C-alpha cells in the first residue's frame, strides 16, 4: 500500500528537520558557522567544551574511550544528517539517529540523573 501524499510530505518534513538539526550541531561544534558571539551562532568553536561535557557525561568510562566515542558521535551525527537530508537509506538513518540520541541520553542519565535531561546548563 502506497503512502498518501500527505504522509510523504510529513515524512519529508521530519527527515529534513532532524537532518538539518544534526548538521547544524556538527557545523556549530566544529566552528564552521562562525566564531562564538556572532549572530545566530550558539557556540562557535564548541569542540573543546563538547569534550569537557563528554568526559563529564561519560565519567564512568575510561578516559581512553571518551574521545573516540565523542568523535564517533560527531561523525554519526554528520552522516545521519546527510542521509536524512538527501533521502538515502532513510529508515536506517532514522534508526541510527535514534540510537545515537539514546546513546547520549543514557550516559547523561547515569552520570547526572534523570533530571539532568531537562537542565539546559549542560547544553552549553
pLDDT tens by residue, 36-49 = 777 767 666 677 77
Q: What is the pLDDT of residue 19?
A: 92
Q: What is the pLDDT of residue 1?
A: 47
Closest C-alpha to 108, from 96, 97, 120, 93: 120
Choose between 3 and 91: higher pLDDT: 91
Supply 37's cell numbers: 558571539
Burial (CB < 10 A; 0-12, 13-18, 19+), residue 11, is middle
pLDDT tens by residue, 10-69 = 989 989 998 998 898 888 888 787 777 777 676 666 777 778 888 888 888 888 998 899
Q: What is the pLDDT of residue 42?
A: 64
Choose between 80 and 29: higher pLDDT: 80
Axis crossing angle, helix 90-112 with helix 47-57, rounded to the nearest 10: 60
* Average predicted confidence (pLDDT) for the chain: 82
Burial (CB < 10 A; 0-12, 13-18, 19+), residue 5, is exposed
pTM over 0.95: no
Our measurement of the distance from residue 114's CA atom to the centroid of its chain's CA atoms, rounded to an integer in Å, reads: 19
Q: For residue 3, is pLDDT > 70?
A: no
Amino acid at each position: 500500500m502506497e503512502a498518501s501524499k500527505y504522509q510523504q510530505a510529513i515524512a519529508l518534513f521530519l527527515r529534513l528537520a532532524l537532518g538539518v538539526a544534526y548538521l547544524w550541531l556538527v557545523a556549530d561544534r566544529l566552528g564552521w558557522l562562525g566564531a562564538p558571539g556572532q549572530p545566530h551562532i550558539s557556540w562557535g568553536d564548541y569542540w573543546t567544551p563538547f569534550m569537557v561535557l563528554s568526559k563529564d557525561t561519560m565519567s564512568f568510562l575510561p578516559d581512553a574511550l571518551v574521545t573516540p566515542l565523542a568523535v564517533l558521535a560527531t561523525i554519526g551525527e554528520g552522516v545521519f544528517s546527510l542521509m536524512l537530508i538527501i533521502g538515502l537509506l532513510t529508515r536506517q538513518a532514522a534508526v541510527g539517529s535514534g540510537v545515537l540520541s539514546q546513546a547520549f541520553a543514557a550516559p547523561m542519565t547515569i552520570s547526572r540523573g534523570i533530571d539532568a535531561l531537562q537542565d539546559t546548563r549542560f547544553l552549553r
